[in-house]
Amino acid sequence: MLALGRKVGPVLMLVAFSATASAQQKACEIDEGTPNQVARAVLDLQLAQSASKPEDAAGKLKDAVKLLNEGDLKKNPTGRSFVLGKTLVMWLSQPGMTSGMTTRGAVGLTTEPAAPFDIIAGIDSAFTVVEASNPDCASQTAAWRQQKGWVDLVNQSFELANTDKLDSAVTLAKRSLQLSKNAPYGFMVLAQSAAKHNQSKEAIDYYKQAIAAAKDTSQADARRQILLTLGNYTAELADAAPEAEKASLLNEAKAAFDALAKDPGTKFADAARNGQARLAAARGDTAAIKGSYADQLANPSAFSYNSLMNAAVTAARTDQNKDAIKLFEAARTMNPYHRDVLYNLARLYLLDSSYTKGIPVARQLIAVDPSNPDDYQLLAIAYASMQKGYTAKSKEYEAKARALGQRANTSKSAAVQKAALDSAVKINPLIKAYQDSTKFAVDSALKYQTAMTSLPAKVTFTEFTATDAKTTIGGTVANQTDAAKSFHLKIEFIDKAGTVVTSQDVSVGPVQPHQSAPFTATATGAGIVAFKYGPIS
């Protein structure tokens, strides 16, 4: 499940005041010239925007607030409120005002100057007056609501959420929503906090509010990400829920994944298919499972390596092994040296008893990933399975030979005796061949079993991220010896043809006995799609 704890939060940019002010639509008509106090406040606001020193800006903003609270307040309340809202937005961006809490006197209010004043609540109150009196102005107030103060609150909230300081994150998220509910970000933080505290109903509701708030085209991918998160979250809840609650949660997950499938953008099509397949598997709906990867199976060349791998994994997890094999084979055609496709394809070939196909793939896997005992285990299992088959065949032919011998010994017909002996003679080479094959399979199984258990270190990869700019590999090295030891890896980054694009030497350790240590490696170069390394030293 994608979560804020994995640093999925936005770093929002500031919308310029001048751009906002000049972007007013014709339908939004606000009089900012009457009465006199409003016009003078507008001038103060303009001077504050162009001031080079914070103290100069503060002086003009105080004067603007003072003017907007003078005269007949019943005259042009909409224009007065609009200018006040913009003035308080500028106050929120001033030094010392970022918390949103100050005193009335500090912002220019002359009555009860020592009383506390909430700038954020003031902004909301002022713009609410405008929005209520002229709904066509909502787009204008929305832009002012999402200025620097709101941006800072959202970014700080995500930073705190990403470091598990959820209580503080929630406080800031709620403050950001007080300023603007026209973006998903505050709701996302509240959803994560509710999920963390096992408040699933509240979390689901917040995720839905986040989805509804992500209306702008610039927020399309954020909306898709939240749909994916909601689908995964409710699917996980359904896995552990009592039977009476499963159906409702699965329906929530289905609605999220279906909505994502209808609008996947350029990044989320596979995620939507995977989610739908997961739900189909939970319901035991084989037809829906097959439907989730039918397009990839029918025309694999039209899809990416990652898309084919996702489809293949879906088929394999739901025991559609024949389909999974076809999909993994297609993925291997696109990326023939990637350890993930090699491992999965070799494993499925062995499950399908296709040892002559599986063994070469497993050998290729070991060539690119020689310090992973799981790879050797594939070959040990393959040869052990083949040995059982050879032994069974050998016994089958031995039984036939005994039967033919008995027939030759008991028959009184010379012709029958001759035919039985001739057949027995033909069977004997087959018996020997299967016995020899059995011995070879036993020796090979023992060889790879020994290799699997005698590796000094186990290398496990947890990340492989390839982009046009750079490729990153991450993983761990586990010391399987009884003494502390340092290890050396030479990682080669390769293209689809297996050509080495670049390489990097990685040292890990010293690693304590039977403990693990992490490593990372990065490389630049065009066309990197996989990697390999030599035996660890």
Evaluated on CA atoms 431, 433, 434, 439, the torsion sign reads positive
CA-nearest of 231, 251, 249, 229 to 240 is 249
Higher pLDDT, 360 or 418: 360
Mean pLDDT for 88-94 is 95
Q: Is residue 356 part of a domain?
A: no
What pLDDT, on a 0 to 100 scale, did the predictor assign at position 464?
92
Q: Is residue 9 part of a domain?
A: no
pLDDT at 469 over 90: no
CA-nearest of 44, 180, 176 to 108 is 44
Q: What is the CATH number of the domain that holds 485?
A: 2.60.40.3230
Mean pLDDT for 11-38 is 64
Co-location of 183 and 332 in the same domain = yes
**Token pair 């023992």 in the structure block, residue:** 446
pLDDT at 239 over 80: yes
Co-location of 380 and 396 in the same domain = yes
What pLDDT, on a 0 to 100 scale, did the predictor assign at position 249?
95
pLDDT at 10 over 80: no
CA-nearest of 233, 186, 176, 232 to 209 is 186
Q: Is residue 398 part of a domain?
A: yes
Q: Report the mean per-residue pLDDT for the chain.
A: 90
pLDDT at 4 over 50: no
Q: Is residue 235 part of a domain?
A: yes
Three-state SS string over 13-62 comes to: CCCCHHHHHHCCCCCCCCCCCCCHHHHHHHHHHHHHHHCCCHHHHHHHHH
Evaluated on CA atoms 384, 386, 391, 392, the torsion sign reads positive
Query: What percentage of the chain carries pLDDT values higher than 90?
Result: 72
pLDDT at 21 over 70: no
What is this structure's pTM?
0.71
Q: Which segment, 173-177, 285-289, 397-401, is predicted with the most confidence on average?
A: 173-177
pLDDT at 456 over 80: yes
Co-location of 283 and 184 in the same domain = yes
Which residue, 428, 454, 480, sits at the end of a domain?
A: 454
Domain holding 309, by residue range, is: 166-338
pLDDT at 3 over 80: no
Which residue, 454, 483, 516, sits at the end of a domain?
A: 454
Mean pLDDT for 322-332 is 96
Mean pLDDT for 345-361 is 94
Mean pLDDT for 33-45 is 95
The pair of three-digit structure tokens given for residue 520, joined into one six-digit string: 């990372």
pLDDT at 297 over 50: yes
Looking at the DSSP bridge assignments, the partners of residue 533 are 491
pLDDT at 1 over 60: no
Mean pLDDT for 170-184 is 95
DSSP H helical ranges for 93-219: 104-107, 119-133, 138-145, 148-162, 166-179, 185-196, 200-213
What pLDDT, on a 0 to 100 scale, did the predictor assign at position 15?
42
pLDDT band of residue 285 (cuts 50, 70, 90) is: confident
Q: Is residue 434 part of a domain?
A: yes
Which residue, 454, 486, 516, sits at the end of a domain?
A: 454
Query: What percentage of the chain carries pLDDT values higher than 70?
Result: 95
pLDDT at 23 over 80: no
pLDDT at 392 over 60: yes
What pLDDT, on a 0 to 100 scale, did the predictor assign at position 288?
87
What pLDDT, on a 0 to 100 scale, did the predictor assign at position 24?
45
What pLDDT, on a 0 to 100 scale, did the predictor assign at position 189?
95
CA-nearest of 25, 97, 20 to 54 is 97
Mean pLDDT for 178-203 is 94
DSSP H helical ranges for 197-268: 200-213, 220-240, 243-262
pLDDT at 72 over 70: yes
Residue pair 110/68 in contact by the 8 Å Cβ criterion? no
Q: Is residue 75 part of a domain?
A: yes
What pLDDT, on a 0 to 100 scale, did the predictor assign at position 215?
87
Q: How far apart are the first and last CA of the chain?
A: 37
Co-location of 290 and 379 in the same domain = no
C-alpha 471/C-alpha 520 separation (Å) is 11
Q: Is residue 143 part of a domain?
A: no
Co-location of 270 and 127 in the same domain = no
C-alpha 239/C-alpha 227 separation (Å) is 18
Counting the structural domains of the chain, the total is: 4
Co-location of 205 and 174 in the same domain = yes
What pLDDT, on a 0 to 100 scale, did the predictor assign at position 110?
94
Q: What is the CATH number of the domain that holds 288?
A: 1.25.40.10
What pLDDT, on a 0 to 100 scale, did the predictor assign at position 9?
55
pLDDT band of residue 330 (cuts 50, 70, 90) is: very high
What pLDDT, on a 0 to 100 scale, did the predictor assign at position 190?
96
Co-location of 39 and 83 in the same domain = yes
What pLDDT, on a 0 to 100 scale, did the predictor assign at position 7?
45
Classified as helix, coil or strand, 517 is strand
Mean pLDDT for 260-284 is 89
Co-location of 301 and 432 in the same domain = no
Q: Is residue 150 part of a domain?
A: no
CA distances from 225 to 184, 203, 211, 274 (A): 11, 15, 9, 14
CB neighbours (10 Å) of residue 23? 12
Looking at the DSSP bridge assignments, the partners of residue 457 are 479
CA distances from 205 to 188, 194, 209, 234 (A): 10, 10, 6, 11
Co-location of 43 and 81 in the same domain = yes
Co-location of 432 and 520 in the same domain = no
Co-location of 515 and 394 in the same domain = no
pLDDT at 128 over 70: yes
What pLDDT, on a 0 to 100 scale, did the predictor assign at position 187?
96
pLDDT at 19 over 80: no
Co-location of 39 and 129 in the same domain = yes
Range list of β-strands (E), 73-130: 101-103, 116-118
pLDDT at 438 over 80: yes
